[in-house]
Amino acid sequence: RRAVTMESVLPFPLLASQRQDGVYVLSLQQHTWPAFKEGQHAQGERLRLIFNEKAAAAVADLLPELAPRAVAILQREQSLYGLELLLEVGICQAMHNRLESIGELDYLSIAATASLPQLSTPGLLVMDMDSTAITIECIDELAAAAGVGAEVAQVTERAMQGELDFEQSLRQRVAKLKGADQSIIDDLCARLPLSPGLESMIAELKSHGWRTVVASGGFTPFVGHLQQLLGLDAAFANELVISDGKLLGEVRGQVVDAAFKAHVVTKCAGQWQIAAGQRLAIGDGANDIPMVQAADFGIAYHAKPKLAAAAAAKINKLGLQALPFLLQGR
Protein backbone atom coordinates (compact mmCIF):
# COMPACT_ATOMS: atom_id res chain seq x y z
CA ARG A 1 0.00 0.00 0.00
CA ARG A 2 1.59 3.23 -1.13
CA ALA A 3 2.02 6.05 1.35
CA VAL A 4 -0.44 8.86 0.74
CA THR A 5 0.02 12.43 1.94
CA MET A 6 -1.92 15.61 1.24
CA GLU A 7 0.77 16.60 -1.25
CA SER A 8 0.61 13.29 -3.13
CA VAL A 9 -3.17 13.37 -3.28
CA LEU A 10 -3.26 16.96 -4.53
CA PRO A 11 -0.28 17.44 -6.86
CA PHE A 12 -1.42 20.83 -8.18
CA PRO A 13 -0.46 24.36 -7.06
CA LEU A 14 -1.94 25.34 -3.71
CA LEU A 15 -2.03 28.43 -1.57
CA ALA A 16 -2.13 27.68 2.16
CA SER A 17 -3.22 29.73 5.15
CA GLN A 18 -4.05 28.90 8.76
CA ARG A 19 -7.05 30.34 10.54
CA GLN A 20 -7.19 31.07 14.25
CA ASP A 21 -9.24 27.95 14.96
CA GLY A 22 -6.39 25.79 13.71
CA VAL A 23 -8.10 24.68 10.51
CA TYR A 24 -5.90 24.74 7.45
CA VAL A 25 -7.53 26.14 4.34
CA LEU A 26 -5.74 25.51 1.06
CA SER A 27 -7.11 27.15 -2.08
CA LEU A 28 -6.23 26.48 -5.68
CA GLN A 29 -4.20 29.25 -7.32
CA GLN A 30 -6.50 29.12 -10.34
CA HIS A 31 -9.96 28.47 -8.97
CA THR A 32 -12.25 30.58 -11.16
CA TRP A 33 -14.52 28.27 -13.11
CA PRO A 34 -16.58 29.66 -16.01
CA ALA A 35 -19.81 27.84 -15.18
CA PHE A 36 -19.92 29.54 -11.78
CA LYS A 37 -19.23 33.13 -12.71
CA GLU A 38 -21.32 35.80 -11.05
CA GLY A 39 -24.98 35.47 -12.00
CA GLN A 40 -24.72 31.76 -12.87
CA HIS A 41 -24.40 30.19 -9.42
CA ALA A 42 -27.81 28.50 -9.55
CA GLN A 43 -26.79 26.33 -12.50
CA GLY A 44 -25.02 23.60 -10.55
CA GLU A 45 -24.13 22.33 -7.10
CA ARG A 46 -21.42 22.35 -4.48
CA LEU A 47 -20.06 18.97 -3.61
CA ARG A 48 -17.99 18.52 -0.45
CA LEU A 49 -16.07 15.24 -0.28
CA ILE A 50 -14.90 13.91 3.07
CA PHE A 51 -12.46 11.03 3.09
CA ASN A 52 -9.77 9.38 5.19
CA GLU A 53 -6.35 8.11 4.27
CA LYS A 54 -7.73 4.76 3.08
CA ALA A 55 -9.66 6.54 0.33
CA ALA A 56 -6.94 9.03 -0.58
CA ALA A 57 -5.44 6.91 -3.37
CA ALA A 58 -8.85 6.42 -5.00
CA VAL A 59 -9.50 10.16 -4.83
CA ALA A 60 -6.07 10.77 -6.35
CA ASP A 61 -7.03 8.57 -9.30
CA LEU A 62 -9.95 10.94 -9.98
CA LEU A 63 -7.81 14.08 -9.81
CA PRO A 64 -7.72 14.69 -13.57
CA GLU A 65 -11.51 15.04 -13.39
CA LEU A 66 -11.70 16.74 -10.00
CA ALA A 67 -8.90 19.29 -10.15
CA PRO A 68 -10.49 21.73 -12.65
CA ARG A 69 -13.56 21.94 -10.41
CA ALA A 70 -11.92 22.06 -6.98
CA VAL A 71 -12.24 25.32 -5.08
CA ALA A 72 -10.85 24.51 -1.65
CA ILE A 73 -9.19 21.88 0.48
CA LEU A 74 -9.78 21.60 4.20
CA GLN A 75 -7.61 19.59 6.55
CA ARG A 76 -8.59 18.78 10.13
CA GLU A 77 -7.71 16.34 12.84
CA GLN A 78 -8.94 12.72 12.82
CA SER A 79 -6.94 12.13 9.58
CA LEU A 80 -9.83 13.39 7.46
CA TYR A 81 -9.55 15.40 4.27
CA GLY A 82 -12.17 17.46 2.50
CA LEU A 83 -12.34 18.57 -1.09
CA GLU A 84 -15.01 21.00 -2.23
CA LEU A 85 -16.07 20.98 -5.87
CA LEU A 86 -18.34 23.06 -8.08
CA LEU A 87 -20.23 20.93 -10.58
CA GLU A 88 -22.22 21.98 -13.63
CA VAL A 89 -25.63 20.39 -14.03
CA GLY A 90 -24.60 18.08 -16.85
CA ILE A 91 -22.07 16.07 -14.86
CA CYS A 92 -23.63 16.02 -11.38
CA GLN A 93 -25.18 12.55 -11.45
CA ALA A 94 -22.24 10.98 -13.25
CA MET A 95 -19.87 12.35 -10.62
CA HIS A 96 -22.12 11.10 -7.82
CA ASN A 97 -22.01 7.61 -9.33
CA ARG A 98 -18.22 7.69 -9.48
CA LEU A 99 -17.92 8.82 -5.87
CA GLU A 100 -20.37 6.24 -4.56
CA SER A 101 -17.94 3.53 -5.63
CA ILE A 102 -15.14 4.81 -3.38
CA GLY A 103 -15.01 3.26 0.09
CA GLU A 104 -14.28 5.42 3.15
CA LEU A 105 -15.65 8.49 1.36
CA ASP A 106 -18.80 10.47 2.10
CA TYR A 107 -20.00 13.54 0.33
CA LEU A 108 -22.44 16.36 0.83
CA SER A 109 -24.30 17.67 -2.19
CA ILE A 110 -26.06 21.05 -1.96
CA ALA A 111 -27.22 23.73 -4.35
CA ALA A 112 -24.48 26.14 -5.38
CA THR A 113 -26.12 29.05 -3.57
CA ALA A 114 -27.21 27.14 -0.44
CA SER A 115 -25.63 27.82 2.94
CA LEU A 116 -24.67 25.34 5.65
CA PRO A 117 -24.76 25.73 9.42
CA GLN A 118 -21.35 27.07 10.41
CA LEU A 119 -19.20 25.20 12.89
CA SER A 120 -17.66 28.45 14.13
CA THR A 121 -21.06 29.89 15.12
CA PRO A 122 -22.85 28.42 18.19
CA GLY A 123 -25.60 26.06 17.14
CA LEU A 124 -27.74 23.12 18.22
CA LEU A 125 -27.30 19.42 17.46
CA VAL A 126 -30.19 17.08 18.28
CA MET A 127 -29.27 13.44 17.70
CA ASP A 128 -30.97 10.09 17.88
CA MET A 129 -29.39 7.51 20.19
CA ASP A 130 -29.92 3.93 18.98
CA SER A 131 -27.84 3.15 15.87
CA THR A 132 -26.72 6.79 15.75
CA ALA A 133 -24.97 7.89 18.95
CA ILE A 134 -24.50 4.22 19.84
CA THR A 135 -24.08 1.21 17.57
CA ILE A 136 -26.94 -0.90 18.95
CA GLU A 137 -30.71 -0.82 19.48
CA CYS A 138 -31.12 -0.91 23.26
CA ILE A 139 -34.58 -2.50 23.14
CA ASP A 140 -33.19 -5.39 21.12
CA GLU A 141 -30.32 -5.90 23.57
CA LEU A 142 -32.69 -5.85 26.55
CA ALA A 143 -34.96 -8.31 24.78
CA ALA A 144 -32.06 -10.64 24.06
CA ALA A 145 -31.08 -10.57 27.74
CA ALA A 146 -34.70 -11.29 28.66
CA GLY A 147 -34.89 -14.25 26.25
CA VAL A 148 -37.22 -12.66 23.70
CA GLY A 149 -34.64 -11.21 21.35
CA ALA A 150 -35.69 -12.60 17.97
CA GLU A 151 -39.33 -11.55 18.10
CA VAL A 152 -38.53 -8.05 19.40
CA ALA A 153 -35.76 -7.45 16.86
CA GLN A 154 -38.17 -8.21 14.03
CA VAL A 155 -40.61 -5.57 15.27
CA THR A 156 -37.79 -3.06 15.74
CA GLU A 157 -36.62 -3.45 12.16
CA ARG A 158 -40.12 -2.92 10.77
CA ALA A 159 -40.51 0.21 12.92
CA MET A 160 -37.15 1.60 11.76
CA GLN A 161 -38.16 1.05 8.14
CA GLY A 162 -41.33 3.05 8.77
CA GLU A 163 -43.66 0.07 8.33
CA LEU A 164 -45.23 0.29 11.82
CA ASP A 165 -46.57 3.08 14.01
CA PHE A 166 -43.74 3.86 16.43
CA GLU A 167 -45.75 4.14 19.66
CA GLN A 168 -47.68 0.97 18.91
CA SER A 169 -44.48 -0.93 18.14
CA LEU A 170 -42.75 0.46 21.25
CA ARG A 171 -45.49 -0.67 23.60
CA GLN A 172 -45.64 -4.03 21.86
CA ARG A 173 -41.91 -4.59 22.32
CA VAL A 174 -41.75 -3.29 25.90
CA ALA A 175 -44.64 -5.59 26.90
CA LYS A 176 -42.42 -8.56 26.06
CA LEU A 177 -39.93 -7.41 28.72
CA LYS A 178 -42.44 -7.91 31.53
CA GLY A 179 -40.88 -9.78 34.44
CA ALA A 180 -37.27 -9.18 33.38
CA ASP A 181 -34.81 -8.22 36.09
CA GLN A 182 -33.71 -4.57 36.32
CA SER A 183 -30.10 -5.75 36.27
CA ILE A 184 -30.27 -6.18 32.48
CA ILE A 185 -30.51 -2.37 32.23
CA ASP A 186 -27.52 -1.82 34.50
CA ASP A 187 -25.48 -4.41 32.62
CA LEU A 188 -26.21 -2.78 29.25
CA CYS A 189 -25.36 0.71 30.54
CA ALA A 190 -21.97 -0.58 31.63
CA ARG A 191 -21.12 -1.76 28.11
CA LEU A 192 -22.95 0.76 25.93
CA PRO A 193 -21.00 0.87 22.62
CA LEU A 194 -20.48 4.41 21.35
CA SER A 195 -20.52 5.04 17.62
CA PRO A 196 -17.11 5.76 16.06
CA GLY A 197 -16.24 9.42 16.30
CA LEU A 198 -19.05 10.31 18.74
CA GLU A 199 -16.80 11.64 21.49
CA SER A 200 -14.61 13.70 19.16
CA MET A 201 -17.69 15.09 17.39
CA ILE A 202 -19.26 16.25 20.66
CA ALA A 203 -15.98 17.73 21.88
CA GLU A 204 -15.50 19.62 18.62
CA LEU A 205 -19.02 21.04 18.63
CA LYS A 206 -18.81 22.03 22.30
CA SER A 207 -15.50 23.82 21.69
CA HIS A 208 -17.38 26.13 19.31
CA GLY A 209 -20.21 26.82 21.73
CA TRP A 210 -22.73 24.34 20.33
CA ARG A 211 -25.51 22.80 22.42
CA THR A 212 -25.82 19.02 22.15
CA VAL A 213 -28.98 17.01 22.85
CA VAL A 214 -30.17 13.40 22.56
CA ALA A 215 -33.81 12.76 21.64
CA SER A 216 -34.42 9.03 21.68
CA GLY A 217 -37.27 6.60 21.29
CA GLY A 218 -35.21 4.43 23.66
CA PHE A 219 -35.05 4.62 27.43
CA THR A 220 -33.97 7.10 30.09
CA PRO A 221 -31.20 5.05 31.78
CA PHE A 222 -29.24 4.96 28.53
CA VAL A 223 -29.66 8.60 27.49
CA GLY A 224 -28.84 9.58 31.07
CA HIS A 225 -25.62 7.57 30.85
CA LEU A 226 -24.70 9.33 27.59
CA GLN A 227 -25.55 12.74 29.00
CA GLN A 228 -23.24 12.22 31.95
CA LEU A 229 -20.47 10.65 29.89
CA LEU A 230 -20.41 13.31 27.16
CA GLY A 231 -21.60 16.38 29.03
CA LEU A 232 -24.71 16.78 26.86
CA ASP A 233 -26.99 19.73 27.51
CA ALA A 234 -30.22 17.69 27.55
CA ALA A 235 -31.55 14.18 26.96
CA PHE A 236 -35.07 12.92 26.24
CA ALA A 237 -36.29 9.31 26.16
CA ASN A 238 -39.01 6.95 27.37
CA GLU A 239 -39.30 5.87 30.99
CA LEU A 240 -39.62 2.17 31.71
CA VAL A 241 -41.87 1.25 34.63
CA ILE A 242 -39.96 -0.79 37.22
CA SER A 243 -41.25 -2.19 40.52
CA ASP A 244 -39.40 -4.30 43.09
CA GLY A 245 -36.46 -4.66 40.70
CA LYS A 246 -38.59 -6.03 37.85
CA LEU A 247 -39.70 -4.51 34.55
CA LEU A 248 -43.48 -4.31 34.31
CA GLY A 249 -43.57 -4.24 30.51
CA GLU A 250 -44.81 -0.64 30.37
CA VAL A 251 -43.60 2.88 29.71
CA ARG A 252 -44.67 5.86 31.80
CA GLY A 253 -45.63 9.35 30.58
CA GLN A 254 -45.50 10.85 27.11
CA VAL A 255 -43.90 8.64 24.50
CA VAL A 256 -40.88 10.10 22.73
CA ASP A 257 -42.05 9.49 19.18
CA ALA A 258 -41.27 11.16 15.86
CA ALA A 259 -43.38 14.24 16.63
CA PHE A 260 -41.79 14.65 20.07
CA LYS A 261 -38.30 14.49 18.54
CA ALA A 262 -39.20 17.24 16.08
CA HIS A 263 -40.56 19.32 18.98
CA VAL A 264 -37.25 18.93 20.82
CA VAL A 265 -35.48 20.73 17.96
CA THR A 266 -37.75 23.78 18.08
CA LYS A 267 -38.04 23.80 21.89
CA CYS A 268 -34.28 23.67 22.52
CA ALA A 269 -33.53 26.18 19.77
CA GLY A 270 -35.90 28.62 21.43
CA GLN A 271 -34.66 27.88 24.93
CA TRP A 272 -31.04 28.63 24.01
CA GLN A 273 -31.78 31.29 21.38
CA ILE A 274 -30.04 29.42 18.58
CA ALA A 275 -29.66 31.59 15.50
CA ALA A 276 -31.62 30.79 12.36
CA GLY A 277 -29.75 28.34 10.16
CA GLN A 278 -27.82 26.79 13.05
CA ARG A 279 -30.20 23.96 14.04
CA LEU A 280 -28.84 20.54 13.10
CA ALA A 281 -30.31 17.04 13.57
CA ILE A 282 -28.97 13.57 12.84
CA GLY A 283 -30.55 10.12 12.94
CA ASP A 284 -30.78 6.78 11.18
CA GLY A 285 -34.41 5.62 10.95
CA ALA A 286 -37.78 6.62 9.54
CA ASN A 287 -38.81 7.78 13.01
CA ASP A 288 -36.19 10.54 12.71
CA ILE A 289 -37.64 12.10 9.54
CA PRO A 290 -39.73 14.81 11.29
CA MET A 291 -36.74 15.67 13.48
CA VAL A 292 -34.30 16.16 10.60
CA GLN A 293 -36.94 18.11 8.69
CA ALA A 294 -37.61 20.37 11.70
CA ALA A 295 -33.92 21.28 11.78
CA ASP A 296 -32.32 23.78 9.42
CA PHE A 297 -30.08 20.97 8.21
CA GLY A 298 -30.72 17.24 8.65
CA ILE A 299 -28.17 14.43 8.33
CA ALA A 300 -28.83 10.72 7.78
CA TYR A 301 -26.23 8.54 9.51
CA HIS A 302 -25.78 5.01 8.11
CA ALA A 303 -29.50 5.36 7.60
CA LYS A 304 -32.53 3.43 6.41
CA PRO A 305 -33.68 4.39 2.88
CA LYS A 306 -36.66 6.56 3.89
CA LEU A 307 -34.56 8.83 6.10
CA ALA A 308 -31.69 8.92 3.61
CA ALA A 309 -34.11 10.24 1.00
CA ALA A 310 -35.49 12.92 3.37
CA ALA A 311 -32.22 14.25 4.80
CA ALA A 312 -30.12 17.10 3.41
CA ALA A 313 -26.90 15.09 3.69
CA LYS A 314 -25.74 11.53 4.35
CA ILE A 315 -22.83 10.02 6.27
CA ASN A 316 -22.78 6.45 4.98
CA LYS A 317 -19.21 5.24 5.32
CA LEU A 318 -17.30 7.37 7.84
CA GLY A 319 -17.91 7.87 11.55
CA LEU A 320 -19.51 10.79 13.37
CA GLN A 321 -16.23 12.71 13.36
CA ALA A 322 -17.15 13.62 9.78
CA LEU A 323 -20.09 15.76 10.93
CA PRO A 324 -18.12 18.84 12.09
CA PHE A 325 -16.16 18.62 8.86
CA LEU A 326 -19.40 18.96 6.87
CA LEU A 327 -20.04 22.26 8.63
CA GLN A 328 -16.62 23.82 8.23
CA GLY A 329 -16.75 26.96 6.12
CA ARG A 330 -14.06 28.12 3.77
How many degrees, rounded to 5, is the angle at CA 116 between CA 130 and CA 324?
50
DSSP assignment, residue 314? Answer: E
DSSP assignment, residue 102? Answer: S
Q: List all residues 6 or more positions away from 128 whose beta carbon is below 8 Å from its beta carbon.
A: 214, 215, 216, 217, 261, 282, 283, 284, 285, 287, 288, 291
Supply the angle between the helices 138-145 and 149-160 in degrees, to the nearest 10. Answer: 170
Alpha-carbon radius of gyration of the chain: 22
Whether 128 sits among the annotated catalytic residues: the reply is: yes
Asked if residue 82 lies in contact with residue 325, where contact means CB atoms within 8 angstroms, the answer is yes
The Cα–Cα gap between 77 and 230 comes to 19
The Cα–Cα gap between 58 and 31 comes to 22
Q: Among residues 128, 140, 257, 288, which one is catalytic? A: 128
Q: Among residues 21, 106, 130, 186, which one is catalytic? A: 130
Whether 181 sits among the annotated catalytic residues: the reply is: no
Residue of 305, 314, 259, 263 whose CA lies nearest to 286: 305
Residue of 272, 277, 285 whose CA lies nearest to 327: 277
CB count within 10 Å of CB 8 equals 12
Sign of CA dihedral 284, 287, 291, 293: positive
Residue of 241, 96, 257, 238 whose CA lies nearest to 178: 241
Asked if residue 191 lies in contact with residue 136, where contact means CB atoms within 8 angstroms, the answer is no
Active site residues: 128, 130
